[in-house]
Amino acid sequence: MKDGEKYKVLVKRGGGRGDVLLSTSVLRALKAKFPQSFLGMATDISGVDIVKGLPYIDKLYICNNFYEVLDFHEPGYDLVVSLLYEKQLHLPYLEAFMGQAGVVGYQPRPVILWNAKVENYARRLVGSFNPEGRPLIALHRGPTWPMRMWRDEGYEKVLKHFKQKYRAAIIEVSGTPGYNLGLGLDLTGQCNFKTTAAILKRCSALLCIDSLVMHMASAVCLPAVGLFGPTDPKKVMLADGLNYPVVTPSPCRFCRHLRGTSVYIECTQKSYVCMEKIQPEQVIEGLEKVLRKTGAV
């Protein structure tokens, strides 16, 4: 297919919500490469709110699950792109996606768009919580795969440091109601996908695990400090100069990628050693570097 010509292109990606969000990079790039083309998107129910309403999509097909997305077929498309980093696990996920779609060289940043109502809500909420404009740190600690999660006392020690030294304000976000530590404004379970993104856009930095919210931060250009044990930040975290991975010193780190699996794996250790070995001092160092770099502290 030649750049600039008109085609019908179908993109397929379901499964993890973070993976669906990463696929929005491809949608934007394809529309830029083929601006006159008709672009279809097939995803599953869990990812609909992530892609619905994007101006790059001319028709959205909704399947029940990841496997239905893989098997989905609609006649009349000139090109069908199944985004499967699982077939190229030696590559960063976004690099695999962009290569599979033939849009290497276009900006590999996820896309989230929201309307004025959502923007105004986020502005009022953050403004009323942090009227002094103090450094504002968003916290997302899960829940997700247990082997990706870090201990609560670690987060408490890190954020206590920033509250005491920099008078930082804290916002806790999660899709699960009540999944908070009482460290600041509790928004857990209270905001939908786009509202959470609009709130993140107004923060100074995000402290998180490998998760959908980490990719949301990339979409809104929010610096993220991500904690990594079983997954490799070089594969899943956007290397754009904004993000800072805190990597476990454990020799068993990155087991999910070293073992070449595209699905969940259970830890072979007696406990989640990799995440346990991440120390608060590592996280404090990374978060301070990010906040200094952006001028927040």
Question: Using one digit for the tens of pLDDT, what is the confidence trace for 7-18?
Answer: 899 999 999 999
Is 62 within 8 Å of 43 (Cβ atoms)?
Answer: yes
Does pLDDT of 262 surpass 90?
no
pLDDT at 263: 62
Fold exhibited by the domain 8-101: Rossmann fold (3.40.50)
Mean pLDDT of the region 38-55:
97
> pLDDT tens-digit profile of 76-105?
999 999 999 999 988 999 999 999 999 999
> pLDDT tens-digit profile of 230-258?
999 999 999 888 999 999 999 999 987 76
Strand, coil or helix: what is 206?
strand
pLDDT at 279: 98
- Whose tokens are 């279809």? That residue is 40
Q: pTM of the prediction?
A: 0.95
Mean pLDDT of the region 46-72:
97
Alpha carbon of 72 to those of 16, 22, 64, 66, 68: distances in Å? 17, 20, 11, 10, 6
- Would you tell me which CATH number, out of the four given (3.40.1280.10, 3.40.50.2000, 3.40.630.30, 1.20.140.10), belongs to the domain 116-294? 3.40.50.2000
DSSP 44-83: EGGGHHHHTT-TT-SEEEEESSHHHHHH---TT-SEEEE-
Domain boundaries along the sequence of the chain: 8-101, 116-294
Does pLDDT of 108 surpass 80?
yes
Is 24 within 8 Å of 110 (Cβ atoms)?
Answer: yes
Q: What's at 172, amino acid-wise?
A: E
Q: Which of 55, 51, 14 is nearest to 32 (CA)?
A: 55
Confidence band of 275 (pLDDT split at 50, 70, 90): very high
pLDDT at 4: 62
